[in-house]
C-alpha cells in the first residue's frame, strides 16, 4: 500500500464581485509539504453543479467562465489526487455576480382606441446590483405612444415599482361644414364658365334685333347666376364629414429594455387594441 502525501487545495477568483456576462477565471492551487508537485485534474463546482475541469500544471489549474448568473455562488475546487497525492477539496469561495431582472404585471393588456393601457414594472436586483437603469420602450403601433421613465435609480438596495403607459388614438370625424379641398374644383369651375358662355352666345344669336338688348341683359344675368351656382356647388361639395385615422385594431408586442453599463435586459408586453 502506497501512503499518499496529504495536500490542500484552495481556489481564488480573478473578478469578484463580477457583472453578469463578464469573464471570471478561477485558479485552484494544490499544495503539500512534499518536494514533488501534484498532478492530475481539478473539478470546479458551483454548489452541486459542475462548471468544468482543469489540468494541474505547476500545482495550479484554471477555469474561465462567463456563464455565472446573477446572485451569490459558492465555488469549490475538488482535486482528484494522483499516484502520490491524496484528493482534497478547497473551502468554498463566495463569488458575487451583479445583475438585475425585469417583470411586468400584467404582461398583456387590452385597450379601446383612444384609451390608455398601463403596465406595472418591477426591478429585481441580484448580487448587490445598485446602479441606475435607463429604459426605452419600442414596438408601439402607429398613432400610439409608449411612455416609460428615462431612468430609474435605487433607493438603498431596492427599486420602487413604476408604470409605463401606452396611449392609443381614437378615430375622429371632421365636423360637418369644415371645408375640405375638392380634387376636381378647378375643372368644375371651368366647365361652369364654359356652359354659361355657350348659353349667352345662343341666346344672343337667335334673339330678334329689337329684343337683342333685352337678351343681352338676360344673358349677362344668366351668366352671373350660373357662375355663382357653380362656385356654390364646388364649395358645398367640399363640406363633408371625413374620418381621421386612429390606432388600428390588432394585437401588438412591445419591448421594454433596461440598460445599465454592459447589462441589458428586456421584458415583452402584449397590447390588444379593440
Domain count, the chain: 3
pLDDT at 237: 47
Residue 258 within a domain = no
The pLDDT tens digits of the residues spanning 90-141 come to: 999 999 999 999 999 999 999 999 999 999 999 999 999 999 999 999 999 9
- Asked whether residue 206 is domain-assigned, the answer is yes
Same domain, 13 and 93: yes
Q: Output the average pLDDT for the chain.
A: 86
Q: What cell was used for 107?
A: 404582461
**Shared-domain flag, residues 79 and 11:** yes
Chosen domain end from 172, 193, 209: 172
Of the candidates 55, 74, 99, which is a domain's last residue? Answer: 99
What confidence score (pLDDT) does residue 229 get? 54
CA-wise closest residue to 23 among 75, 62, 68, 60:
68
Residue 89's domain is classified under what CATH number? Answer: 2.60.40.10
Residue 202 lies in a domain: yes
Task: Tell me if 257 is assigned to some domain.
Answer: no
Q: 74-88, 198-212, 228-242: which has the minimum mean pLDDT? A: 228-242
Whole-structure pTM over 0.75, yes or no? no
In a domain, 123, yes or no: yes
Paired with 227 in beta bridges are none
- Structural domain of 113: 106-172
Amino acid at each position: 500500500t502506497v501512503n499518499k502525501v496529504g495536500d490542500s487545495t484552495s481556489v481564488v477568483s480573478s473578478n469578484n464581485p463580477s457583472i453578469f456576462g463578464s469573464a471570471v477565471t478561477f485558479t485552484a492551487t494544490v499544495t503539500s509539504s512534499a518536494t514533488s508537485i501534484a498532478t492530475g485534474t481539478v473539478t470546479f463546482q458551483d454548489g452541486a453543479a459542475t462548471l468544468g475541469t482543469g489540468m494541474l500544471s505547476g500545482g495550479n489549474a484554471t477555469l474561465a467562465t462567463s456563464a455565472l448568473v446573477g446572485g451569490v455562488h459558492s465555488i469549490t475546487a475538488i482535486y482528484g489526487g494522483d499516484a502520490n497525492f491524496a484528493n482534497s477539496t478547497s473551502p468554498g469561495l463566495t463569488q458575487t455576480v451583479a445583475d438585475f431582472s425585469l417583470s411586468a404585471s400584467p404582461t398583456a393588456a387590452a385597450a379601446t382606441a383612444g384609451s390608455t393601457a398601463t403596465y406595472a414594472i418591477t426591478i429585481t436586483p441580484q448580487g448587490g446590483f445598485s446602479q441606475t437603469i435607463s429604459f426605452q420602450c419600442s414596438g408601439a403601433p402607429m398613432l400610439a405612444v409608449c411612455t416609460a421613465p428615462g431612468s430609474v435609480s435605487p433607493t438603498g438596495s431596492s427599486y420602487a415599482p413604476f408604470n409605463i403607459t401606452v396611449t392609443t388614438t381614437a378615430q375622429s370625424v371632421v365636423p360637418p361644414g369644415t371645408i375640405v379641398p375638392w380634387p376636381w374644383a378647378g375643372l368644375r369651375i371651368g366647365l361652369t364658365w364654359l356652359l354659361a358662355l355657350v348659353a349667352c352666345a345662343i341666346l344672343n344669336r337667335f334673339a330678334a334685333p329689337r329684343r337683342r338688348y333685352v337678351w343681352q341683359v338676360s344673358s349677362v344675368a344668366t351668366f352671373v347666376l350660373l357662375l355663382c351656382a357653380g362656385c356654390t356647388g364646388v364649395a358645398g361639395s367640399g363640406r363633408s364629414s371625413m374620418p381621421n385615422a386612429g390606432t388600428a385594431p390588432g394585437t401588438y408586442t412591445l419591448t421594454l429594455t433596461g440598460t445599465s453599463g454592459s447589462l441589458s435586459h428586456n421584458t415583452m408586453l402584449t397590447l390588444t387594441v379593440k
